[in-house]
Amino acid sequence: MSIQLISHRICLAAVLAPLLFCATALAAPLNSLLDSKAFDIIPEESHDFFGNLDEQNARAAQENEAIFARGRMAFLFGYHDLARELWLPLANDGYAKAQANLGWMYQTGKGMPKDLKKAVEWYLKAAKQDHVIAKNNLGVMHENGWGTKKNLKRAAYWYREAASTGYSYGQYNFGKMLLEGAGVDKNPKEAAYWLGLAALQGVDEAKGLLINKTKWGTDQIQPAVTKATAPVIPAKQQQVKEILREPWVLSQSAKSYTLQLLSSKEEHVVNDYLNNPAIPDPTAYYKANVLGEDWYSVVYGVFPSFEAAQQHLRILPVGLLRYKPWIRTFADVQRAIKAPVE
């Protein structure tokens, strides 16, 4: 045994010696190579070296969409295990649609062992990528305490996020919370606005609530479906000279209304948006912390009533409608600044 060990050590040393010699010998020329311009690529040659990255990304997106579609077809025909196998790699790579669908599978127990906590985790990943149905479903989870602690404030936040991007059931759910004062201040007029939008998209539950509007103690407010005939109040059509910030927002009456024009996690997106000469005064932007992340939002105007804000929403310049503006109370905005959504 001792002879074998000695022999083994000798053999090992014999192998390592030339490797160490080679490494030492190569070190100097390798360092020289790294210090040289050998790895520099002239921009016009980069296409030949790497290929067209835009084309590669587009091709990858098409492939992901095709894989997702096959998974969707498998799921619809009851092959839930196959759908899971197709969607899981996509979800792990950050594909929002697959993440949202995995959340649904965990929520319903189809193709996955039912796990509401994991459903919330996957919905959150998709929602952070602006997947509108995942946002609404997160609201459902928080409203009912499924897979997470019951939190009506957070539920209202996610419903509002889904509603503001035009999702019908997000509009219904947010309108319902406004009507009940659950997670937000009770506001029947604003509730009627969101429920009206949901009803226009065919949500029967919203229509049912609007039919019983006499029980709300206020008149129904329907969203505009034709061009507004109210007189247009002139607004400055010039570049914003002064960028208003949080102090201005916090100084407004909590009972007043404003229009939220944009919300982004990238501050430079907000600054670029504010350079639009069509932005009227007064316009401000503020920072709020949502689920541990900073968000920057742009708001326009101070309106004494929901109806006044709604009128101005109808007559905004077309260029300001890109991010689907929506009506908020200053109380809601001020609360977002002072008390982060956790």
Spell out the alpha helix ranges (H) of the chain. 2-35, 43-50, 53-76, 80-92, 96-108, 116-127, 132-144, 152-164, 168-180, 188-200, 204-211, 246-251, 267-274, 306-314, 330-338
Residue 217: which pLDDT band, with cuts at 50, 70 and 90? Answer: low
Residue that terminates a domain, selected from 129, 160, 176: 129
Contact (CB, 8 A) for 134 and 106: no
Q: For the residues 24-32, what does the mean pLDDT come to?
A: 49
Same-domain check for residues 262 and 219: no
- Same-domain check for residues 312 and 322: yes
In a domain, 71, yes or no: yes
Statement to judge: residues 205 and 275 lie in one domain: no
Instruction: Note whether 140 and 67 are same-domain residues.
Output: no
pLDDT digits (tens, 9 = 90+) for 312-337: 888 888 778 888 888 988 988 998 88
Q: What is the pLDDT of residues 2-11, one digit of tens each?
A: 444 434 444 4
The CA distance from 311 to 319, in Å, is: 17
Domain membership flag for residue 116:
yes
Question: CB 152: neighbour CB atoms within 10 A?
Answer: 17
Residue located via tokens 């649904």:
104
For residue 194, the enclosing domain spans 131-223
Question: Where residue 167 sits, what CATH number does that domain have?
Answer: 1.25.40.10
Dihedrals phi, psi of 308, to nearest 5 degrees: -65, -40
CATH code at position 118: 1.25.40
**Could you give the CA distance from residue 136 to residue 42 in angstroms, rounded to a whole number?**
48
The closest of 195, 237, 201, 240 to 220, measured between CA atoms, is 195
User: Domain count of the chain?
Assistant: 3
Q: Is residue 31 part of a domain?
A: no
In which band, very low, low, confident or very high, does the pLDDT at 289 lie, cut at 50, 70 and 90? confident
What H or E segment, with its residue span, contains residue 301? strand 293-303
Put simply, whether the predicted model's pTM sits higher than 0.75 gets the answer: no
Is 240 among the domain residues?
A: no
Q: How far is CA 205 from CA 138, 155, 183, 195, 335, in A?
A: 20, 19, 20, 9, 30
At residue 342, the pLDDT reads 63
Assess if residue 9 is contained within a domain. Answer: no
- Establish if 320 belongs to a structural domain: yes
Same domain assignment for residues 210 and 280: no
Residue 103: the pLDDT is 96
Residue 99 is classified by DSSP as: H
Q: Which of 72, 106, 129 is the last residue of a domain?
A: 129
- Please tell me the distance from the alpha carbon of residue 185 to that of residue 305, in angstroms, as a whole number: 15
CATH number for position 306: 3.30.70.1070
The answer to whether residue 178 sits within a structural domain is: yes
Sign, CA dihedral 252-162-201-141, equals: negative
My answer on whether 328 and 252 are in the same domain is: yes
Q: Tell me, yes or no, whether 265 and 186 share the same domain.
A: no
How high does pLDDT run on average in the chain? Answer: 79
In this structure, are residues 296 and 266 in contact, taking their beta carbons and an 8 Å threshold? yes
- Write the pLDDT tens digit of every residue in 108-152: 999 999 999 999 999 999 999 989 999 999 999 999 999 999 999
User: What does the DSSP 8-state code read for residue 148?
Assistant: S
Q: Are residues 77 and 103 in the same domain?
A: yes
201: in domain: yes
Contact 235, 280 (CB under 8 A): yes
Same domain? 280 vs 211: no
pLDDT at 15: 39
Residues 66, 110 within the same domain: yes
- 162 shares a domain with 118: no
User: Which of 106, 129, 152 delimits the end of a domain?
Assistant: 129
